Structure 1
């Protein structure tokens, strides 16, 4: 699929931007991690569970981030990217994002607007690496 001029590769690289999140019902964009030992090990640590049912990833998440980074660099709002659309779908879920093997020092975020700002700011850096744990707060 082509998104804003970027080709999305359905290949997971060990040194790339990763995402894991909870989700109630699978769809064609989100993949369960039950057959991926790499993600299962991270899920057990991050979500503090041995049961990885209901935990998903997006195989082309790194490509979505790279495309969003290019768009933001060209003055396009993150709100107009495919990455933003995907994040809207999962904004009520618990989400972990990290780069490569570094997932021990994540910024904790409880508000979707703050999440989008943190991602946008992270993608503005040359490395474009995101280190985030997001869980929507029910506090008013």
Structure 2
């Protein structure tokens, strides 16, 4: 079934972010692919032949596995923090731009209304300083 939503025209400064889940999954997959390719590249470059297997797991190896698992969890947490910080930065920048645009529009619309009120007050000097052609009474030397 076709959706009835019209595509919105994209503004040049519009904030286009992926959903958090999609961004995190893509980040994790990219990290795993880069890590695997670096590992296999090093194995190939070092001409590694085989891994020595032992049936017994000693304390030193177990401690190394625990350190490795903590490192993997810390790396995953760092990736989540980086994605979150990036999204927060983008949202803050878009909000600052939106606020600056609002202030700019507000300031110049108030200035336009003030100028229009000054021109419409009826004093000869204000009528002569307006953007429209001066009325007959503003000829120099006459009031």
TM-score bin (small chain): under 0.3
Normalized per residue, the structure richer in strand is: 1
Normalized per residue, the structure richer in helix is: 2
Q: Which has the higher contact order (CA 8 A, sep 6+)?
A: 1
Higher Rg: 2
TM-score (norm 2): 0.19
